[in-house]
Structure 1
Amino acid sequence: MNEDLPAASIRVPCIVRRNDALSDSSRIIPEETPIAFTYGGSTHAVMMATPADLEDFSIGFALTEGLIDSIDEAGDFEIVASEAGIELRSWLAGGRQEVYAARKRSMAGPTGCGLCGIESLEQASRPLPVLANALRVSSTALVAAMDRLPGAQMLNRETRAVHAAAFWAPESDALIVREDVGRHNALDKLAGALARQRLPAAQGVVLMTSRISVELVQKAARIGAPIIAAVSAPTALAVRTAEKCGMTLVAVVRGRDFEIFTHPERILEQVSTHVA
């Protein structure tokens, strides 16, 4: 472990109001650090993120952003910490560095889209793989997996301030969790963890503690996850994107209840149509 890296959380003083009185106290809160992704010496993006699971973050970001197709193309990696933040330096392998350099040279300049490494508005909706996957899970098992998630969120138990992305493998019932102040960062870290462990996302379900935005659907699709489930509601574009790429989108998972928005055939339980 790099001793120069900041801790994922820190205890800070605060003043609390309890029983109509103020008193000195303290609270553990998550760290938030600028993290730069560089490839062959060229900065691709800077994210504000929790400084933990950084190799997972680097590989997962490259995968979900389409810079590489597999961990075998991840190449050499280095973490460099400074007072300004953290650099995740990568030199992509298998010819991907040359492809990336050519892409950078062809970029017209920043467009203000708000998406990393996007040269045009059209690329914000670049094609996704079609998930023609036969995975099926039971409603009961899905609910049980989501119920396990809070207990597996070690950083959130300390801070009550971070998101989690988890991978649940129905066959083994394994649950892999990554946390971050940003929900997209948490999913990138999860993608990297799966790649490093050689676990195919096609064989499980992505669980999120946040709402489902289109970027989460895109990232999950790029790693091949056929089902995504979350505690909050999706956006309309997330639903349309999930429908188009063949992903089952389950949201508003609260206790034993949830709502399926796309491709319900993967959830094994007879459901009745309800009109409010």
Structure 2
Amino acid sequence: MPEPTAALGAIEFRIDGGTTRKVDYVAVEEPLEVRVVHFDSGRLVTSKVAVTMRTPGDDFELAVGFLHSEGVIRSAGDVTSVSYCTEPNEPQRFNIVNVQLSPNVTFDAESLSRRVFTSSACGVCGTASLEYVQKVCATKPVGDFAVGRELLCSLLSKLRDAQRFFSRTGGLHASALIDTEGSLLAVREDVGRHNAMDKLVGHLLLEGRLPASNKIVLVSGRASFELVQKAVLAGIPMLVAVGAPSSLAVELAEKYGVTLVGFLRENRFNVYSSPERIV
């Protein structure tokens, strides 16, 4: 299994004219292909659905979380097995994951391939449309709670302390699930911000913890439409971002009653939708 970080040689150049050779740790970035094994006309077939550049680790969660965000699966019962693919006469590189669907799950490979595109900046990116979210998610996340301003501001340092790979490399995004008392329940890291969220959602799905009602998700970067979409589909009613939201992210959050927080700092933050959950 590839490691999430790698030690490389580097030369530090300083403004005083000096240089120093050093060892620097960087985030590993490798391709992962997601394949879906499903029934078609009574026979088992395999469809390649996406390739993403990701940080190795939690690959099964990443594959399952991505398929959940695209509406292919809804619960752990929709998945029969998840495994690495072993190609005959080739060494195992842990870069292909097979997700086998239950016989009762209908899978449209052609439709999914039209919707999905990839980006090295974020990972596997899905459909950026309000109509699509409405189609696959008819209900709003449940969020019958209110949290204090001090609690939200405290989350920044908690996330930083929990990012063990970021602390070594400075090059990984993170998504964290938090309860209403401010406790971190799970954290996932990846070079792609969408991948980090998919790993987190996949983790929750495989443990049977979806929908994640009355929970908060904290992301280390900006709040894009796709991240709000993934939160909505996972039933998470509050998304807090260290960075800025996009206009479409705000629109989707408003439509689904998600509290969207941006520019989280240790003493302030901005609220863009459903502020009633913050006191």
Confirm or deny a common fold (TM above 0.5).
Answer: yes
Give the direction of change, closer, same or farther, for the CA distance of 1:161–1:223 in structure 2 (3 Å limit): same
From 27, 31, 34, the counterpart of 1:30: 27
Structure 1 partner of 2:219: 208
Q: Relative to structure 2, which stretch is displaced further, 184-193 or 163-172?
A: 163-172
Q: Distance in 1 between matches of 2:149 and 2:271?
A: 11
Structure 2 partner of 1:48: 53
Q: Distance in 2 between matches of 1:34 and 1:75?
A: 24
Contact preservation (8 Å) 1:59, 1:71:
no
Report the AA paired with residue 168 of structure 1: I
Q: The residue matched to 2:2 in structure 1 has which SS?
A: coil
Residues 55-134 of structure 1 aligned to structure 2 (within 5 Å): 55-80=60-85, 86-96=95-105, 99-100=106-107, 103-105=108-110, 107=111, 110=114, 125-127=132-134, 128=137, 129-134=139-144
Q: The residue matched to 1:253 in structure 2 has which SS?
A: coil
Structure 2 partner of 1:235: 246
The runs of 5 or more residues in structure 2 that have no matched partner are 38-45
Deviations 1:201-222 (A, max 9, x none): 2131000000000000000100
Residues 162-173 of structure 1 aligned to structure 2 (within 5 Å): 162-171=172-181, 173=183
**Structure 1-normalised TM-score?**
0.85
Quick one: percent identity of the two aligned structures? 30
Give the direction of change, closer, same or farther, for the CA distance of 1:14–1:83 in structure 2 (3 Å limit): farther
Q: The residue matched to 2:141 in structure 1 has which SS?
A: coil
Q: Distance in 1 between matches of 2:112 and 2:73?
A: 22
Contact preservation (8 Å) 1:137, 1:266:
yes
Contact preservation (8 Å) 1:44, 1:117:
no
- The RMSD of aligned alpha carbons is 2.5
The runs of 5 or more residues in structure 1 that have no matched partner are 270-276
Q: Is 1:262 aligned with 2:273?
A: yes
Structure 1 partner of 2:169: 159
Deviations 1:226-251 (A, max 9, x none): 00001111001100111011111011
Q: Distance in 2 between matches of 1:123 and 1:67?
A: 17
Q: The residue matched to 2:269 in structure 1 has which SS?
A: strand
**Structure 2-normalised TM-score?**
0.84
Q: Distance in 1 between matches of 2:129 and 2:236?
A: 24
Deviations 1:81-136 (A, max 9, x none): 7587711101111511xx11xx225x497478669697x88687431432353132
Q: Distance in 1 between matches of 2:168 and 2:253?
A: 33
Q: Distance in 2 between matches of 1:229 and 1:190?
A: 15
